[in-house]
Structure 1
Amino acid sequence: MYSQRKSGRAVIAGATILLLSGAAHAQSSVTLYGVADGGLLYTSKTLDPATGGNAGKQFSLVDSGIAPSQFGLMGTEDLGGGMKAEFRLESGISVANGSFNDSNGNLFGRQAYVGLANPYGEVKLGLQFSPFFLALYDLDPRGLSQFGSGLVIYLDHVAGTGVFNANSVSYSSPVVAGFSGSALFSFGGVAGNFQSGRQYSVSLKYDNGTVMVEAAYYDGNSGGTVSTVPPTNVAFEGRMLGASYKIGKLTAKASFVNYKVAGGFNSNVYDAGLDFLATPDLDLNGGVWFVSDRNQTTNHSVMGSLGAQYFLTRRTTLYGQVAVVNNHGAMNTGLSVNDALYSPTGTTTGVNCGIRHVF
């Protein structure tokens, strides 16, 4: 009996040592991060939603002048053999009033996923950005600033669809000879109706450090079980093709985007711009966007904007931006994601300045 007890204790001790050894070798980390961005906004006109006309000038404090204010948690665990597990929970928040903003109307409504990554690629399950939206970010001359950029045009056409994709599974390939690709599929979640709320997106990119060329596609159906404000289930097809060229501190970007919205616009967007790191502390950028409705060419707009960022430290930035938009026909392109997403017919000018802190 004593021999059996001794043997049993040895087995338990051995198993405990193995468990502790495994825990000691497993490398894991959790990081809290975020952005706090607030500023002042002036526009010479505002859209009256009741009449479609001009409601007058505005001057206001707004959340997120350049980058969406947000906080989140992300973590990884080394599983060995080049494999790692990962997760991300990210929420938007308004520094103007403390409410949700740029967050799909939900707590952790920006991103919420778990995934696995190894040298052969990355698979993620959950709420995430689409390859189409990420491709637009790569090639927007102003980095999809919340003021005076392609982001305003994007949200004007399809709201949050394609930005926040719930019920999604995605795969991103490793970079091979400069080439990489991504694909995403979102389940609508409606029993007996596989097509309701179904969304998918793909992208292909070549980047050698100097020249980058990227193409992307998005297709989404209305419906599904996810209901948010702003909506993320607008039925639309999106296509984009663009390129950038970097020489020293100067980067030039240009792209073509098509938004085909069911029962609405079929818009072509042409944009080009420059980003110049004038000094280690000062970045200057600018761009021009021309939007034309293929269904009715009298609906068109042109927007131009300039921006400057002064880096006080690695984490804190002062910024100033100015933009002008001219709308014709039924086009209502605005200047700012917050407080000025739409503008009336004619010319509207705007100015935005503020401070951003990254932690």
Structure 2
Amino acid sequence: MDEKGGAVPAVSTRRLTRSLAALTLLGLSGGAVHAQSSVTLYGSLDGGLRNLVNGTKAGGAALSMASNGVYNSNRWGFEGKEDIGGGYYVRFNLEAGYVLSTGANNNTNNQIFQRTSTVGFGGPFGRIDMGRQFTLQHYLIKDFEPFDFHYLSITESTAVSGGDTGRDSNGINYRGIFGPWVIRGTYAPGGVAGSVANGSTLAGGVNYRGETIKLGAGYTHRSNPLSATSSQYFSNDQYTAGGTVTVGPVDVMSGYSLDLQDVPASVHSMTRNQYLWGGVRYQVTSFFNVTAAYYDNKNKTNGLDGRKDVAILGVVYLLSKRTELYADVDYTHFTGVYVTNATLNASGHEKQTGISFGINHWF
């Protein structure tokens, strides 16, 4: 009815309906326009030298600049986040590595963002990221890794992390923080036609973060393809646990990881990799810290033993909030079949002593 009590014409009704629909759409688009979003460019530049005694087959010292950084990995990336309301958000992360000394991309498989390539969402329930990313093991041991994943070419952190240089492709990673507890889970499909398990990864873990004590434990199962063309696969199980105790400026930490893998050649034998590590981190002042650590890896394959022991002492001095000077001295001892393992020990010498120093800047 109109103001005079008459019927409202049908044309006016349609116009009113269209106007309400337009206002509704305008309101929805206005909410999207006002959603908070941000994109951050970040990176790290590490310029360091390393001298390794017995670093060549002839027994001489090898002085080099690491292709991907001595103390920290050279990388650049984008990280974006959009707040979609109600405590929920959408995020992405693209990260690539590069060689500081030449400016070349640090990849051998034509992967631009070979370090990280993820998109995900989060909220009160936690966060889910999908794509190429660090393994669950990497995130798990961060709370009790003495050097916090620095000096990766020297320590055993990458080996303990597992995966492809500490990463999973096709990964679906969940992290939920509930008070002092962090719940973790990962599933990575193998992408092999005709088999759900072949090439897949399944992992779960938990971290506890108290004021003075941090603890963590996790399990990872991988179904590794026997070959690129085979439908068969062999299992790989890894069990990890560790913790940190903080007393004032001092952190004391240790960890243990056991990796059991079927030998691909027979699938009836077993490779046993045991990792044990411990360390002390002392924050002397707000701009100077000292870290000492020991890493031990024992391997047994088909009755043959190999062992690698690494002792390392490192210091870091902050020149500013984003620039630091670093130096380390380390000693590595190979025994058993590890002495002649060209992948682990290119020089073939049992004992090696290294000294590194340089500058690292991040933005």
Task: Give the TM-score taking structure 1 as reference length.
Answer: 0.85
> Which residue of 291, 294, 305 corresponds with 1:288?
294
Q: Distance in 1 between matches of 2:211 and 2:108?
A: 32
Q: SS at the partner of 2:224?
A: coil
Compared CA separation, residues 2 and 152, structure 1 to 2 (3 A) = closer
Partner of 2:174: 171
Does the CA contact (< 8 Å) of 2:141 and 2:216 recur in 1? no
AA at the equivalent of 2:297:
V
Q: Is the 8 A contact 2:304 2:337 kept in 1?
A: no
Gaps of 5+ in 1: 49-53, 228-232
The answer to whether the 8 A contact 1:190-1:225 is kept is no
| 1:185 aligned partner | 187
Whole-Å separation in 1 of the counterparts to 2:144 and 2:345: 21
Q: Give the equivalent residue in structure 2 for 1:351.
A: 355
Q: Which residue matches 2:257?
A: 257
2:61 counterpart residue number: 57
Aligned residue pairs, count: 341
Please name the residue that 2:267 is paired with: none
Question: Which whole-Å CA distance do the structure 1 matches of 2:198 and 2:114 have between them?
Answer: 21
Q: Distance in 2 between matches of 1:25 and 1:123?
A: 24
Give deviations 1:58-111, integer Å, cap 9, x for gaps.
111123112211111111111111111111111122212223337976111111
Structure 2 equivalent of residue 327 of structure 1: 334
For 2:79, which of 63, 70, 74 is the aligned residue? 74
Read off the aligned partner of 1:238 and give its amino acid letter: Q
Q: 1:1-359, aligned counterparts within 5 Å? A: 3=12, 7=16, 10-11=19-20, 13-15=22-24, 17-46=26-55, 56-62=60-66, 63-101=68-106, 106-145=111-150, 146-151=152-157, 153-154=159-160, 160=164, 163-176=166-179, 178-223=180-225, 236-263=236-263, 265-295=271-301, 296=303, 298-332=305-339, 342=346, 344-359=348-363
How big is each residue's C-alpha offset from its partner over 1:252-276, in whole Å with a ceiling of 9 and x where there is no partner?
1011112234327412121110111
Inter-partner Cα distance in structure 2 for 1:13 and 1:95? 54
Percent of residue pairs bearing the same amino acid type: 24
Unaligned runs of 5+ in 2: 1-9, 264-269
For residues 235 and 101 of structure 1, the distance between their equivalents in structure 2, rounded to whole angstroms, comes to 30
C-alpha spacing 1:197/1:353, structure 2 compared with 1 (3 Å): same
Distance (whole Å) between structure 1 residues aligned to residue 109 and residue 297 of structure 2? 26
Q: Which structure has the larger Rg over C-alpha atoms?
A: 2
Please give the alpha-carbon distance, in whole angstroms, between the structure 1 residues aligned to 2:20 and 2:328: 68
**d(CA) in 2 for partners of 1:114 and 1:133?**
19
Per the alignment, do residues 105 and 352 of structure 1 end up closer, same or farther by CA in structure 2, a change over 3 Å counting?
Answer: farther
Moved more, 255-264 or 265-274: 255-264
Q: Contact 2:56/2:62 (CA < 8 Å) preserved in 1? A: no
Q: Is residue 143–residue 214 contact of structure 2 (8 Å, CA) maintained in 1?
A: no
If the length of structure 2 is used for normalisation, what is the TM-score? 0.84
Structure 1 position 148, deviation (Å):
3.1
**1:28·1:78 contact (CA, 8 Å) conserved in 2?**
yes
Cα pair distance change 1:351/1:274, threshold 3 Å: same
Distance 1:333 1:143, change over 3 A: farther
The one-letter amino acid paired with 2:64 is S
Contact (CA 8 Å) 1:33, 1:71: kept in 2 or not?
yes
Query: How far off is 1:332 after superposition?
Result: 4.8
**Higher relative contact order (Cα pairs below 8 Å, separated by 6+ residues):** 1
SS class of match (2:178): coil
Q: How has the CA–CA distance of structure 1 residues 64 and 304 changed in structure 2, closer, same or farther, with 3 Å as cutoff?
A: same
Deviation at 1:240, TM superposition (A): 1.1
**Using the alignment, how far apart are the partners of 2:35 and 2:227 within structure 1?**
38
* Cα-Cα RMSD: 3.1
Q: 1:6 to 1:275 in 2, by over 3 A?
A: same
